[in-house]
Each structure stands twice: as C-alpha cells, then as structure tokens.
Amino acid sequence: MDLQSIKNRFGIIGNAPSLNHALNTAVQVAATDLTVLIVGESGVGKEVFSQIIHALSSRKHNPFIAVNCGAIPEGTIDSELFGHEKGAFTGAVDSRKGYFETVSGGTIFLDEIGEMPLGTQARLLRVLETGEFIRVGSSKVQKTDVRVIAATNRELLEFTQKGRFREDLYYRLSTVPIRVPSLRDRKEDILLLFRKFVVDFSERYKTIPVQLDEDAKQLLIHYGWQGNVRELKNIAEQISVLSTNPQISAIELKNFLPDKNKNRLPVLANQPHSNNDFANEREILYKLFFDMKKDVTELKKMFLEILQNPSLAGSAANFTRDSLMNDFHTNGEIVNTSNQQNSLNTASNIQPAYLNNNQLNSQPMILSEDSIQQHEEIEESLNIMDKEKELIVKALKKHKGKRRDASLDLGISERTLYRKLKEYDIDE
C-alpha cells in the first residue's frame, strides 16, 4: 500500500518530509512484532500512528485497545492492565480479566506511558521480556501474546535520569522509536489542514466555508500552535461557528487565536527570538534568583569588611557604582531605563549607616572586635519546584484534601493538580 493510500484511509493530511518519514517508519515496522515508542507533543495524532501499525500488521483481525495511563488512578492501574482475583482488595467482589489478557493476540496502545507508576512499570517490563503476568491477588503466572505500542509527550530519557521512569523499560519500549513532528515543524501543511477542517465543519453546521485573506494565512502559518493539530481543529471549528463574515482578515483571525504573549519575565537584549522564547521560564527564574543571591552575598561581605576596617568606607561608594554598572551590561551594550539610572545615582551616595559626612572628615570611629556582630549567611531554598510543592501542600491542608477546591485556590485545573501530586509524590 502506497503512502497516499494510507493517508486517505486514516485521514492524514500533509506532505511535510518529517511527517512522511514517520509514516514510512510506521509502515515498515507494522509487519513485525517489534515494540514501538511513538514520541510527539500533545495533539500531533500519536494514536493514529498506533492504529496504522495495527491495521497493517498480521494482528489486524485481533483486538486493539488504547489505554491512557495518565487517566487511570495509581491504585487501580495494575488491576486494569493485568486483572485481579476476587477479594484481592476492597471492592473486588469478583475476578476480572485485565487488558493484557482480553486482547491476547492483538495490540495494546499505552498512551502517556510516562505517567505509569514505577511498580506497574516493573510488571510491564516482565510482560515485554517473557510474555508473563500475574493478576493482582494471585500467584498464578499467566501467558499473553500482545504487541505493545507506547506513546508519550515527555522526554522519557530525562525521566530515567530523575528516577521517574525505569531505564531498562525505556530501552525495551524504544526498540523502534517514531517521532511525530509538531505542527510548527510542518508549516506547509497548516493551510491544507485548516481548509479540510473548515469544509468538514461547514457541512456539519450547514454554513459557507470561510476563506482567509493573505495576511490571515501568514498569521495562521506563523502562529505557535502549542496544541498542534488539535488546537488548529478547535480554531477552525470556532471560526466556522462564530464568524459572520465568510472572508476572514488577519484582524478578525486574531480574535480567535489565544493571546500567548502575556509573559512578563525579562529577556536578554539583542538576542534572536525563537519558537521557545517563553518555554524556559523556570531556567530564567533560576538565573535571576541565583544572580540576586550572589549580589546580596557580595553586599554582605562588603559591609562586613567596612565594619572591620573603617578606612575602606571611602571606596565603598565607587565599588557599589561599578558593581551595579556591570550588572546592566549585556554583550558590551548598556541596558538602561530611567529607573535604573536613578538606582545608580542613589547607589553612588551609599555610605555606612554609622558614618556621616562630618565623621568621614574627622577621626574614624574605633570599633572593638566585641562590637562587631557575627556575620552569618542563611541559606534559603530558591528552588521553584520546592515552592510549588509547598503551595500545593498548603492548599490541600487549607481545603482539607479537597482537590477541586485546592485547584481553584491555586488557579490550576484539577487534572493539573492531580499530575503535580504524582510528580512531587505528595501524600494526601
């Protein structure tokens, strides 16, 4: 079967080289029983690739099941995948077959594999290596013949380094990796996809298909599309339903595109912008916090030296001015605002608290060692993850473990809160 026939059969639109490469890999590996790991951002269509592999394999007449590992609670995922015996846990009123037992001979698609608990990962590794599994609450070893296709929108190799994913399972799953390109990496397909979506929605809602003028097309092509094809489809549906004008201009199109430029973090001057300008907020904050901590430590040391040696007081102002000026240099150019200039002028007048202008010209004050207070540096955690975890714990305590109320208080969705609880291993 040629590539275009596969695209027509599974509703895949686009001719980007990266997309064609991923499809060719899926077609080639379909005839084997090798384990496949599909990698790609959320919304790129990873599940479609799993369906292609199953439909073109020798297992196509046997069952296919897709399981979202991130949507199954940690306490029940073992039972869902491997089954359980009667009385294995509270509520187990009868024996139950798991997915690996019911789809034996077929294919199981494990989506969001990176969210799978470590204990379940060990069970899955045994299935992949020996084809054996044990029901929850049982001691009987059972055999299964299931092909596993996994998918993730995370970098699992980084998870293995953090101890959140088994390294042996990662290499066992990624026998054949397939990377599905993001929509912004296949810009030539954006207009084709948009056109297909608006035609489909116009037929569904009995409306006239909308058209984009040239400026609107360029805006659509250069938009970030963090939600990939899923986001593009949602925008096309909104326009088809809400637009009263069949000809859409760039100004009208902006009303349907989410405003993602609300980031207020500082950026380095004269640096080229990339598609990930706002994707590294945590790294930027780390740098800011550590720079602030370093400056405060230097100021402490400087004033301690002045206390111990008053003759250094005269040079303190010049030192402070030079230090502050250096902080505002970037690639040899000074980044200045009126507020920053005022700060420099103020800094030039800094003098020790116990010295005034008359005292500087008179005999310096003699300080004994006993009068010098002990200098102590207090190490305060500046780790953003620690602060985030602390806020989540406080919110849960405040609302007595009610996730919905805690998520509303934190300003995040309940699903995001659930993911954070697992990520930080917070015991409710």
Entry pTM = 0.61
> Under 8 Å CB-to-CB from 224, ≥6 apart: which residues?
184, 260, 275
For the chain, the residue count is 428
Q: Does residue 78 contact residue 71 with C-beta atoms inside 8 Å?
A: no
Domain boundaries, the chain: 3-181, 187-254, 281-370, 384-423
pLDDT of residue 312: 59
In degrees, rounded to 5, the angle at the alpha carbon of residue 328 between the alpha carbons of residues 327 and 332 is 105
- Give 223's strand partners: none
**In Å, what is the CA distance from 241 to each residue of 27, 194, 230, 244, 406?**
37, 14, 17, 8, 35
Query: What is the DSSP code (8-state) at residue 181?
Result: P
Burial class (CB in 10 A: 0-12, 13-18, 19+), 22: buried
* Secondary element (H or E) of residue 315: helix 313-327
**CATH code at 384-423:** 1.10.10
Place domain 3-181 in its CATH homologous superfamily.
P-loop containing nucleotide triphosphate hydrolases (3.40.50.300)
**CA 50 centroid distance within chain:** 23
CA-closest candidate to residue 226, choices 19, 37, 42, 399? 42
pLDDT of residue 176: 95
Burial class (CB in 10 A: 0-12, 13-18, 19+), 75: exposed
> Under 8 Å CB-to-CB from 312, ≥6 apart: which residues?
305, 306
**CA 121 centroid distance within chain:** 21
Structure-token pair, residue 135: 């029901």
pLDDT < 70 regions, the chain: 1, 260-287, 289-290, 310-383, 428
pLDDT of residue 148: 97
> Under 8 Å CB-to-CB from 27, ≥6 apart: which residues?
1, 3, 6, 52, 56
pLDDT of residue 92: 86
pLDDT of residue 402: 84
* Secondary element (H or E) of residue 218: helix 214-222
CA-closest candidate to residue 388, choices 428, 424, 413? 424
Residue 361, Cβ neighbours under 10 Å: how many? 7
Query: What is the DSSP code (8-state) at residue 88?
Result: S
Q: Does residue 240 contact residue 274 with C-beta atoms inside 8 Å?
A: no
DSSP-based three-state secondary structure for 347: helix
Residue 378 and residue 386: Cα distance in Å, rounded?
Answer: 17
The helix-helix angle for 46-55 and 3-10 (nearest 10°) equals: 120
> Under 8 Å CB-to-CB from 147, ≥6 apart: which residues?
33, 35, 54, 57, 59, 106, 107, 108
**CATH code at 187-254:** 1.10.8.60
DSSP-based three-state secondary structure for 178: strand
Residue 173 and residue 150: Cα distance in Å, rounded?
Answer: 7
Half-sphere exposure of 211 (CA within 13 A, CB side): 4
The two beta strands, 132-134 and 147-152, are unpaired
Q: Does residue 409 contact residue 377 with C-beta atoms inside 8 Å?
A: no
CA-closest candidate to residue 109, choices 31, 53, 166? 53
The two beta strands, 147-152 and 176-179, are unpaired
Structure-token pair, residue 43: 């919304």
